[in-house]
Structure 1
Amino acid sequence: MAKCTGNFMMKKDAVFIYSKEQLGYSFSDSHPFNQKRIVLTLDLLKKSGAITDSDIIAPRIATDDELLLAHDAKFIDIVKRAGKGEIKETAGEMYGIGTEDTPIFPNMHEASAMLVGGTLTAVDEVMSGRARHALNLGGGLHHGFKGRASGFCVYNDSSVAIKYIQQKYGARVLYIDTDAHHGDGVQWSFYDDPDVCTLSIHETGRYLFPGTGSVTERGNGKGYGTSFNFPIDAFTEDESFLEVYRTAFKEVTEYFKPDVILTQNGADAHYFDPLTHLYGTINIFHEIPRLAREMANKYCEGRWIAVGGGGYDIWRVVPRAWAHLWIAMNGIDAPTGPLPAEWVKRWQSESPVPLVETWEDPVPLYKPIPRKEEITEKNAQMLEQALHLIREKRESC
């Protein structure tokens, strides 16, 4: 723990935002977006001895005025009424709710505003100097738009949080999104804003929702050159994914020079994930937060806020992947070997699949990819194209 500059209070390395109220964001028992993954992750951290109750801070609910930073009043009103059963699903469809992806559920507004409030709680902990880093696994709903829900996401906590940071703290924000799905809602919210830089590494939209995120989406007007997209090929493996991630993160951070970094940490780039086509292993989720911490310490005096996101194998993948976020935030060496036997015993009876009982994935996890060299080369060419503006400027200096 480090001493805060200018006072005698001790600054925590990291805080973990959580309360049971976050579990109220639930579309149905059969819906793929299942917040039980937060419970599984927190329990894994506790049984590993990596977190204590003193590290946990309860989220608050976002106010309407805060939601209005990134959402239309009419949309907020529709969400409120839908959660009270006052509108039919057909009436909500034009606002993206009452659909197969984003069904209406009781108290939808309150549950959604709680997830946003969790990210705002994380923001205040970091930006006020009480903690260097903060983690809100309940956040990361990056598909929400100003006046429409989309892709399991009602309110967009990251968009609200970035506007909140700008308004309250006057800071330049770098948003990094490693979810397998393009971070479209956040990108479009700040597409013409030169003080917010968005970077999304995702599976190409050729076969995957939402179908956006081309390298040619670079921003608009004064915001041109502050939107970066890295669409990787289906079946991309660890080495290629991490080469894109490391190179993109380092070059964009050096170029933009943010005051704070906000990362969205979907865990759906893993081979086991049922909704995507990437061939990542747990190794990428070990590396992703460690580079984020390094970049935040180098450029932002440690200011790093992390949120959750996608991740639909909630038993074999998400708890291990998200545990690495907290472990990295606290500078703890990455765990290896068996998971805590007590955790495995507690949850195996509920899991519909055999749990992975080690921090590492089984080897081999899958059969060799015959197109590995082709995919790797294609991703390398994409990386060069996506970063050419930065590299041209660097070479001209």
Structure 2
Amino acid sequence: MTNPQIRFIHSKAASSYQFEKDHPFHPIRYDLTISLLEHVGALSQTDILEPPKYDMEDLLLLGHQESYIEAIKLLSTTQPPVHLKENAELYGLQADDTPYFAGMHEAACSIVAGTVHAVEEVVQGRLQHAYHMAGGLHHALPNRAAGFCIYNDAVIAIRAAQRQHQIRVLYIDTDVHHGDGVQLAFYAEPSVCTYSIHETGKFLFPGTGYHYERGIEQGYGTSINVPLEPYTEDESWLNSFEYTLRKTIQHYKPDLIVSQHGCDAHAYDPLSHLHCSIGIYERIPQLIHELAHSYCNGKWVALGGGGYDLFRVVPRAWSYVWLEMADHAFLHQLLEAKQKRNLTPLPKGWLQQWSTVTTQQLPLYWQDEAGSIQAIPRREEITARNKHIAELSVQDM
């Protein structure tokens, strides 16, 4: 580790946050990403910080109702009560989306602990940046699980920090699915601005996140949504992102950025309809890093989130977050090669290690090869619609 002010936070217990074997939300994404970073010399096991133990009873109540927490605990046992099994859907634990499993309470608590620790360390000034890759479970609601999310770690961590510190927080969500659980938690609170850029809810779960969702009461104006059209490509996505995020942060002027880096807007992702390349996942952390230093004295916490092309997309996208956050020398090699229009090969050792685990053809390069993603014929129409929505999203700033 070259900079003690920057830490990679990860609990081994997060790997037990696993639904059925073939469920799209699979913890192998963590191993794939850590392995890729190790192969390029950007991370070692000694660099990884295990979060401490917390009083979870106290913390969970910052984001969830007590009756819901008790139900999660009981459904986490090897033999849950029959009445809860029969009524699990009342708590959002649906078999085809977020099914309950033995040990889910403990696994979800380990993820909450990681995000709480990341935010706490940065707010206290002991760290400048922190990356908690397993965090970002942004769909969980006060009394319901949703979208593979049981406890909303971002909500809990932000509220825990605000109990001791009067801070203004900008929450940035780049997952292809709207960050509905975080928005709902802070919809009436002026001390947290929630920004989400995502595929429009007209066609994608959770069906929310329209540009006119602006907050209520004292929180009006602190909810910013940028819903994009299906089949949006890199240029339109990035133009919408840069324009609206710069306007948002200039207007809000936060003390801390918490960013969620779901990487399911990629064209390969099976659970969405956007058509971006790995190029947006190189640029996203670059811009957030720049803005953190310009507006927040560098205070930045990054979380993971969604991403369901586990082998071809997630490891590369999430590695870019850490490489940027750590300002690692390998990132500069990637950027130099890009300027020369050269592709940078993925490490042979990483490819050999993981090619035996999947039947998918692994990518050979950090960048997507030319022609690997087909162009969309409605590009001009989609771009024009996205530009209009982006302007509406921040028109009052």
Query: Is TM more than 0.5 here?
Result: yes
Instruction: Report the Cα distance in structure 1 between the residues aligned to 2:164 and 2:26, rounded to whole angstroms.
Output: 32
1:88-167 counterparts in 2 under 5 A? 88-167=84-163
CA offset at residue 366 of structure 1?
A: 2.4
Secondary structure in 2 matching 1:94: helix
- Whether 1:384 aligns to 2:357 is no
- String of CA shifts for 1:227-277, please: whole Å, max 9, x gaps: 000000000000010011111111101100100000000010000000000
- String of CA shifts for 1:263-313, please: whole Å, max 9, x gaps: 000010000000000011000000000111101111111100010000000
Task: Write the letter of the residue equivalent to 1:377.
Answer: A
Task: Write the letter of the residue equivalent to 2:14.
Answer: Q
Residues 283 and 122 of structure 1, relative CA distance in 2, 3 Å threshold: same
The residue number in structure 2 matching 1:309 is 305
Task: Write the letter of the residue equivalent to 1:342.
Answer: G
| Alpha carbons 1:179, 1:265 under 8 Å: kept | yes
Task: Write the letter of the residue equivalent to 1:14.
Answer: I
The residue number in structure 1 matching 2:370 is 363
The residue number in structure 1 matching 2:348 is 341
CA offset at residue 34 of structure 1?
A: 0.6
- String of CA shifts for 1:331-361, please: whole Å, max 9, x gaps: 1335351011000000001112010011011
2:58 pairs, out of 57, 65, 71, with 65
The residue number in structure 2 matching 1:318 is 314
Instruction: Report the Cα distance in structure 1 between the residues aligned to 2:179 and 2:39, rounded to whole angstroms.
Output: 33
- Bigger mean CA offset, 335-344 vs 219-228: 335-344
The residue number in structure 1 matching 2:48 is 56
Q: Identical aligned pairs, as a percentage?
A: 45
- String of CA shifts for 1:161-210, please: whole Å, max 9, x gaps: 11112112221110000000000000000000011000000000111100
CA offset at residue 105 of structure 1?
A: 0.5
| TM-score relative to the length of structure 1 | 0.94
Length, aligned pairs only: 382
- String of CA shifts for 1:121-168, please: whole Å, max 9, x gaps: 111221222221101111100000011110100000011111112112
Instruction: Report the Cα distance in structure 2 between the residues aligned to 1:61 and 1:175, rounded to whole angstroms.
Output: 25
- Whether 1:261 aligns to 2:257 is yes
| Alpha carbons 1:13, 1:329 under 8 Å: kept | no
- Whether 1:178 aligns to 2:171 is no
- String of CA shifts for 1:58-97, please: whole Å, max 9, x gaps: 0235511011011111100000000013234331111111
| Alpha carbons 1:61, 1:113 under 8 Å: kept | no
Instruction: Report the Cα distance in structure 1 between the residues aligned to 2:172 and 2:300, rounded to whole angstroms.
Output: 11
The residue number in structure 2 matching 1:218 is 214
| Alpha carbons 1:90, 1:98 under 8 Å: kept | no
Task: Write the letter of the residue equivalent to 1:159.
Answer: V
The residue number in structure 1 matching 2:74 is 81
Instruction: Report the Cα distance in structure 2 between the residues aligned to 1:366 and 1:309, rounded to whole angstroms.
Output: 23
Instruction: Report the Cα distance in structure 1 between the residues aligned to 2:11 and 2:154, rounded to whole angstroms.
Output: 19
CA offset at residue 13 of structure 1?
A: 4.0
The residue number in structure 2 matching 1:18 is 10
CA offset at residue 50 of structure 1?
A: 0.8
1:42 pairs, out of 31, 34, 43, with 34
Instruction: Report the Cα distance in structure 2 between the residues aligned to 1:370 and 1:72, rounded to whole angstroms.
Output: 47
Instruction: Report the Cα distance in structure 1 between the residues aligned to 2:53 and 2:76, rounded to whole angstroms.
Output: 16
| Alpha carbons 1:182, 1:200 under 8 Å: kept | yes
Instruction: Report the Cα distance in structure 2 between the residues aligned to 1:124 and 1:15, rounded to whole angstroms.
Output: 13
| Alpha carbons 2:59, 2:160 under 8 Å: kept | yes
| Alpha carbons 2:11, 2:114 under 8 Å: kept | no
| Alpha carbons 2:256, 2:300 under 8 Å: kept | yes
Secondary structure in 2 matching 1:215: coil
Instruction: Report the Cα distance in structure 2 between the residues aligned to 1:22 and 1:237, rounded to whole angstroms.
Output: 32
| TM-score relative to the length of structure 2 | 0.94
The residue number in structure 2 matching 1:5 is none
| Alpha carbons 2:11, 2:110 under 8 Å: kept | no
Instruction: Report the Cα distance in structure 2 between the residues aligned to 1:115 and 1:61, rounded to whole angstroms.
Output: 11
Secondary structure in 2 matching 1:131: coil
| Alpha carbons 1:178, 1:201 under 8 Å: kept | yes
* RMSD of aligned Cα (Å): 1.4
Instruction: Report the Cα distance in structure 2 between the residues aligned to 1:231 and 1:386, rounded to whole angstroms.
Output: 9
